Amino acid sequence: MNPATLDPIPETDGPIVRFDRVGFAYGNANPALRDVSLTLERGGFYFLTGPSGAGKSTLLKLMYLALLPTRGSLKLFDVDVGAAGRDVLPLLRRKIGVVFQDFRLLPHLTVFDNLSIPFRVRGMGYEEYAEDVEELLKWVGLGERMDALPETLSGGEQQRVAIARAVVGKPSLLIADEPTGNVDPVMGARLIKLFVELNRFGTTVVIATHDQELVRRAGVPVFRIENGQVTRGMAP
């Protein structure tokens, strides 16, 4: 096996995410998050809801390490992010799959090559990942578009590519920001089924959404963020 494919951050039995009185402020502005404490257990499935501007995006960015807390303690995979060296953060990010609301596909790469990025970063050869990439593209209904460039796809098709890219490497933590916002209800249900299947095999899933019907049907824990603070409950 290529040494680059070995996991340098070992799995543990502890929580996969732990916020302890975390705060975050952009410059001198009022805090976007204030004293947030929450725990995501390994293998859990969670929704994050709240009004626009409440701090959802900031919370998600902290979870996938695009931002670091300005106060409090954040642990991912039992690693204290604040105390970790800069060389450790990229290793932690490799264990996280992210579905961005604005897709963030590389425009000069085909659909197939966009999905191949997580494997190529790990030093894997084409023959090691090609079958997995093709199978997942067929599952999300894009088997005939794997050689297409992103600009030739509809918004819903780009959303499906973004989701497939996030899950193709079987991440330990999957974070999805409004993953069904650009697809029809039938495809939305199919994508949620994909997240559920990943969760069954051990991936911790966090989905940020405004779709209250989706949240109600799921029957899983819900974190609601409002005015920079987080409360936990269950869907009504």
Write down the pTM of the prediction.
0.87
Residue 93 has pLDDT above 70, yes or no: yes
CB burial string 164-189: b at 16+ within 10 A, e below: bbbbbbebbbbbbbbbbebbeeebbe
Task: Quickly state the pLDDT bin for 235 (edges 50, 70, 90).
Answer: low
In a domain, 115, yes or no: yes
What is the predicted pLDDT for the residue at 71? 94
The residue-averaged pLDDT of 184-211 equals 87
* Number of domains observed in the structure of the chain: 1
Whole-number pLDDT of residue 236? 60
- Residue 17 maps to a domain: no
Q: What is the DSSP letter of 36?
A: E
**Of 111, 109, 121, whose CA–CA distance to 164 is shortest?**
111
Q: What is the signed CA dihedral for 160, 162, 218, 21, rounded to 10 degrees?
A: -170
Tell me whether residue 160 is in a domain.
yes
Q: Do the Cβ atoms of 49 and 212 come closer than 8 Å? A: yes
pLDDT value, residue 189: 82
In this prediction, residue 208 carries a pLDDT of 92
- Tell me the residue range of the domain where 143 lies: 107-170
Residues 6 or more apart whose Cβ sits within 8 Å of residue 137: 111, 112, 115, 143, 145, 146, 164
Residues 194-207 have pLDDT tens digits of 888 889 989 999 99
66 pLDDT band, cuts 50/70/90, is very high
- 154 assigned to some structural domain: yes
Least confident of 3-12, 41-50, 51-60, 96-105: 3-12
By the 8 A CB rule, do 225 and 19 touch? no
d(CA 228, CA 51) in angstroms, rounded, equals 11
In a domain, 161, yes or no: yes
Following DSSP, what letter does each residue of 61-111 receive, concatenated?
HHHTTSS--SEEEEEETTEETTTS-TTTHHHHHTTEEEE-TT----TTS-H
Q: What was the pLDDT predicted at 7?
A: 55
Instruction: Tell me if 48 is assigned to some domain.
Output: no
Question: pLDDT by residue (tens digit) across 122-173?
Answer: 889 999 999 999 999 998 889 999 999 999 999 889 988 998 999 888 899 9
pLDDT above 50 for 2:
no
14 occurs within a structural domain: no
* CB atoms near residue 3 (< 10 Å): 8
Asked whether residue 147 is domain-assigned, the answer is yes
pLDDT digits (tens, 9 = 90+) for 12-23: 778 999 999 999
- pLDDT confidence of residue 155: 87
- What is the mean pLDDT of the segment spanning 179-199? 83
Q: What is the pLDDT of residue 46?
A: 95
Report, in this order, helix, strand and coil percent for the chain, each rounded to 5.
35, 25, 40
pLDDT computed for residue 5 by the predictor: 42
Strands 204-208 and 221-226: unpaired
The answer to whether the CB of 202 falls within 8 A of the CB of 28 is no
pLDDT: is 202 or 217 the higher one? 202
57-71, 87-101, 181-195: segment of lowest average pLDDT: 181-195
Question: What angle do helix axes 155-167 and 111-121 make, rounded to 10 degrees?
Answer: 20
